[in-house]
């Protein structure tokens, strides 16, 4: 606009607009534009014969170009206008720095600027800057103060000890013990440099606590400004001599401060970038370590993780999930491709669980067998948490555990328990040899008696066929009785796999009572039953449950072997328990059980018998619990104890 006014001959407007352009460029930190405005203004005044005013604008233009680093332009102005290098009067003892650029050694500035701009690491840059500042200024001590957010902080201190400049990097707060705070605040507020040629002379800062106590002589404080933004302050002092900071030195320092502001900002950005990169690398390393730990933990625990987008069918697997499923990492899992690998016998159950979870948006928890490529199968346990993604679609995040080893161990344990139970049954049956013989002998004796009677009816002078037929039928009946006894005994002794079915518990109890009744009588025990009729059926394995009843009856009989002061009575009862259970109890009048041992007696190998293995009750409890019931003992109100167990009704 100023140039347009000049061309149109509006000189007054042009003067005003040149000044506005200069002030606007200065306020916004565009030093190159400020220099250009000074230069064209100088041409304007030269053309109109105002040489003094033109020279002032040219000096300002030269100074701006120098601050900008346009040294070629500075040399061009020096060659075209040699008068710009003439000396000016010294600054007053206390003043804001305004040193003319004529007194500046361009070579010195170039060298110092190159050294400062060549450093990018903050620590090295600060050391270099402080060393150059102390050397070129003739200062004894210097501080670099940087603006960290809204807080001023001393970053470094430099001292000259007659041989070399020692720079100490030490982040410290700004205090009155470190420098004149009133002078510092003036520089920060005005964004202008301040020099005290002799701080002991009267000046606006004479009352400052630091100046009064330290008796500093020469003090120089320069703002570090980039594009009107304050980045820090450079503070220099000499406590020995006044007028140390000459105009030439001040000019160098002022231009150096401009370059320092740029370099410091770049270095701070570089430091922040390094820190950010370091934090990112540390986070990446921690993530890699966490992933490695997770992968190793998943491998050791045979647990993989997965994600499932229900809407798209896409699945995302961890490395361990790939290993469990037997797929290569190149395989992209989807629900449609993976679900057919569910074992055919488990498909219906798995489908029902998945459909119910997806329909209600609930979590999943189920087990099934997973078919492998070689035809084998694995047992897996799946748990998953339902969640809604950013699109609102239902997604599952969960874990899949290979429980094949656990299932195999459980099966091995079940077989071991079955074999041990079989051994226990055989041993118990050995103890019942006399009772077994009695049970078998009764129908056999009846067969012999009825057979002899039948022969007599047939061998008479006139055979009585009606009586012979009756006795023959009794022979058949007693033969069946003997066969039933032997079948029941064989069932108890035979080693078979458990087979749960609908069972009349009263009938099972009565068969065991019949088998043990003779043994009880032989040992002076009165064996009675109180079985409630019309009990609901239970779901159970006949042989295993009869083994429990047999063990409890034999334990009760033995518990009364030392009793001589009261009747030996053993009562077997059955009744309905709660709404969905049946209870069977075996009550004796023996020596009883200490309350402290009521639970210990069910531990494996715990026994109070001199010849016992301590496995009977442990096996019995295991059998009952496998049937969904509970076996426990409690003392009677009178002598003896009661063992009772519950079983679920058959539905």
Q: 169-216, pLDDT tens digit by residue?
A: 888 899 999 999 999 999 998 888 888 988 888 888 988 999 888 888
Q: What is the mean pLDDT of residues 599-609?
A: 72
Same fold, 103-273 and 302-399: yes
> Residue 347: is its pLDDT beyond 70?
yes
Instruction: Give the pair of three-digit tokens for residue 206.
Output: 């004479």
CATH of region 103-273: 3.30.450.40
The Cα–Cα gap between 616 and 595 comes to: 20
CATH fold of 302-399: Beta-Lactamase (3.30.450)
High-pLDDT (> 70) share of the chain, % = 85
Half-sphere exposure at residue 256, Cβ-oriented, CA atoms within 13 angstroms: 31
Print the SS3 string covering 227-240: CCEEEEEEEEEECC
Please provide the DSSP assignment of 543-580 as one string: HHHHHHHHHHHHHHHHHTTT--SS--EEEEEEEEETTT
At residue 490, the pLDDT reads 65
CA angle 634, 639, 641 (to 5 degrees): 25
Q: What is the mean pLDDT of residues 313-340?
A: 90
Are 146 and 123 contacting, i.e. CB atoms less than 8 angstroms apart?
Answer: no
Range in 236-240, 276-280, 435-439 the model is least confident about: 435-439
**What mean pLDDT is reported for the chain?**
81
At residue 161, the pLDDT reads 76
Q: What class, spelled out in words, does domain 499-651 have in CATH?
A: alpha beta
Task: List, in sequence order, every beta strand (DSSP E) within 449-601.
Answer: 501-503, 526-531, 538-540, 569-577, 581-588
At residue 561, the pLDDT reads 85
Distance spanning both ends of the chain, measured CA to CA: 101
User: Which value, to the nearest 10 degrees, does the dihedral of the CA atoms of residues 43, 44, 47, 53 take?
Assistant: -80
Q: 443-496, pLDDT tens digit by residue?
A: 777 778 778 878 877 887 788 888 888 888 888 877 776 776 666 566 655 555
At residue 366, the pLDDT reads 93
What's the pLDDT band for 442 if we cut at 50, 70, 90? low
At residue 80, the pLDDT reads 86
CA angle 639, 645, 647 (to 5 degrees): 160
Print the SS3 string covering 221-276: EEEEEECCEEEEEEEEEECCCCCCCCHHHHHHHHHHHHHHHHHHHHHHHHHHHHHH
What's the pLDDT band for 647 if we cut at 50, 70, 90? very high
| Domain assignments of the chain as residue spans, ordered by start | 2-86, 103-273, 302-399, 403-497, 499-651
Angle 542-559/465-493 helices, nearest 10 degrees?
90
- Specify the residue for token string 């500093």: 216
At residue 507, the pLDDT reads 92
What's the pLDDT band for 650 if we cut at 50, 70, 90? confident
């Amino acid at each position: 606009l100023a140039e347009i006014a000049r061309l149109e001959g509006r000189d007054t407007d042009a003067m005003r607009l040149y000044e506005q352009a200069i002030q606007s460029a200065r306020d916004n930190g565009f030093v190159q534009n400020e220099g250009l405005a000074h230069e064209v203004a100088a041409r304007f005044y030269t053309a109109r014969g105002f040489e003094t005013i033109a020279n002032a604008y040219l000096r300002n233009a030269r100074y701006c170009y120098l601050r900008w680093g346009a040294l070629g332009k500075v040399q061009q102005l020096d060659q075209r206008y040699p008068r710009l290098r003439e000396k000016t009067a010294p600054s007053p003892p206390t003043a804001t720095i305004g040193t003319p650029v004529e007194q500046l050694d361009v070579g010195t500035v170039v060298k110092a600027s190159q050294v400062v701009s060549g450093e990018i690491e903050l620590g090295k840059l600060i050391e270099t800057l402080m060393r150059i500042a102390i050397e070129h200024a003739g200062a004894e001590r210097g501080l670099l103060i940087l603006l960290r957010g809204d807080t001023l902080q001393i970053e470094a201190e430099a001292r000259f000890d007659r041989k070399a400049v020692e720079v100490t990097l030490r982040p410290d707060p700004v205090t009155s013990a470190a420098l004149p705070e009133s002078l510092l605040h003036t520089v920060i507020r005005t964004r202008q440099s301040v020099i005290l040629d002799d701080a002991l002379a009267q000046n606006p800062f004479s009352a400052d606590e630091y100046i009064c106590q330290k008796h500093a002589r020469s003090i120089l404080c320069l703002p570090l400004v980039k594009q009107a933004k304050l980045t820090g302050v450079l503070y220099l002092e000499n406590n020995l001599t006044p007028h140390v900071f000459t105009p030439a030195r001040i000019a160098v320092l002022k231009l150096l401060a401009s370059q320092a502001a740029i370099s410091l900002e770049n270095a701070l950005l570089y430091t922040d970038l390094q820190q950010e990169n370091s934090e990112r690398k540390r986070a990446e390393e921690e993530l890699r370590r966490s992933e490695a730990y997770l992968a190793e933990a998943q491998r050791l625990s045979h647990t993989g993780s997965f994600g499932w987008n229900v809407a798209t069918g896409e699945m995302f697997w961890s490395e361990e999930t790939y290993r469990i499923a037997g797929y290569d990492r190149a395989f992209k899992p989807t629900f449609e491709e993976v679900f057919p690998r569910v074992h055919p016998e488990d498909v219906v159950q798995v489908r029902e669980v998945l459909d119910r979870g997806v329909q209600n948006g609930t979590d999943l928890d189920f087990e099934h067998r997973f078919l492998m490529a070689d035809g084998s199968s694995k047992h897996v346990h799946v748990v998953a948490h339902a969640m809604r993604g950013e699109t609102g679609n239902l997604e599952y995040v969960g874990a899949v555990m290979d429980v094949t080893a656990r299932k195999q161990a459980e099966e091995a344990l079940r077989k071991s328990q079955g074999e041990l139970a079989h051994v226990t049954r055989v041993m118990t049956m050995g103890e019942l040899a006399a009772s077994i013989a009695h049970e078998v002998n009764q129908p056999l004796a009846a067969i012999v008696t009825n057979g002899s009677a039948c022969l007599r009816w047939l061998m008479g002078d006139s055979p009585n066929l009606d009586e012979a037929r009756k006795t023959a039928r009794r022979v058949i009946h007693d033969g069946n009785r003997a066969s039933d006894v032997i079948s029941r005994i064989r069932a108890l002794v035979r080693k078979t796999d458990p087979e749960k079915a609908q069972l009349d518990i009263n009938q099972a109890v009565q068969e065991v009572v019949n088998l043990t009744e003779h043994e009880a009588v032989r040992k002076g025990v009165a064996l009675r039953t109180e079985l409630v009729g019309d009990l609901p059926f239970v779901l159970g394995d006949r042989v295993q449950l009869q083994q429990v009843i047999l063990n409890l009856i034999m334990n009760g009989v033995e518990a009364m072997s030392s009793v001589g002061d009261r009747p030996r009575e053993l009562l077997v009862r059955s009744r309905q328990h709660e709404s969905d259970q049946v209870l069977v109890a075996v009550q004796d009048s023996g020596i009883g059980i200490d309350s402290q041992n009521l639970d210990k007696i069910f531990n494996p190998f715990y026994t109070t018998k001199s010849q016992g293995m301590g496995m009977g009750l442990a096996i019995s409890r295991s059998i009952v619990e496998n049937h969904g019931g509970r076996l426990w003992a409690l003392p009677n109100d009178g002598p003896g104890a009661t063992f009772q167990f519950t079983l679920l009704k058959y539905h």
